């Protein structure tokens, strides 16, 4: 059984990369950042809608 050289894996596509690198290519880095941005925006939308729903429920029950 041969030993593999020390390496890590791309944070986006999980391909092997040299130790210390985070991404295998600039394309993977850009795609990973786009996914993070998209997820963050989705979370903002969810929490905003949840806050509005709580506000509406509070106003309906008090009014």
pLDDT tens digits along 5-58: 889 999 999 999 999 999 999 999 999 999 999 999 999 999 999 999 999 999
- The answer as to whether 2 is a domain residue is no
- The answer as to whether 39 is a domain residue is yes
Q: What is the DSSP letter of 23?
A: -
Domain count, the chain: 1
Look at residue 2 in the predicted model and tell me its pLDDT.
63
- The answer as to whether 24 is a domain residue is yes
Residue 41 CA, distance from chain mean position: 10
Kindly tell me if the per-residue pLDDT of 1 is higher than 60: no
| Residue 41, token pair as written in the block | 């925006």
CA distance 28 to 51: 35
Q: Is the dihedral of CA 14, 46, 38, 19 positive or negative?
A: negative
Q: What is the DSSP letter of 11?
A: T
Q: Using a cut of 0.75, tell me whether the model's pTM lies above it.
A: no
- The answer as to whether 1 is a domain residue is no
Look at residue 63 in the predicted model and tell me its pLDDT.
76
């Amino acid at each position: 059984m041969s030993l593999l050289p020390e390496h890590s894996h791309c944070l986006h596509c999980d391909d092997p990369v040299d130790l210390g690198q985070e991404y295998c290519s600039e394309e993977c880095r850009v795609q990973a950042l786009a996914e993070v941005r998209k997820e963050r925006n989705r979370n903002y939308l969810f929490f905003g809608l949840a806050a509005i729903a709580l506000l509406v429920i509070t106003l309906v029950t008090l009014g």
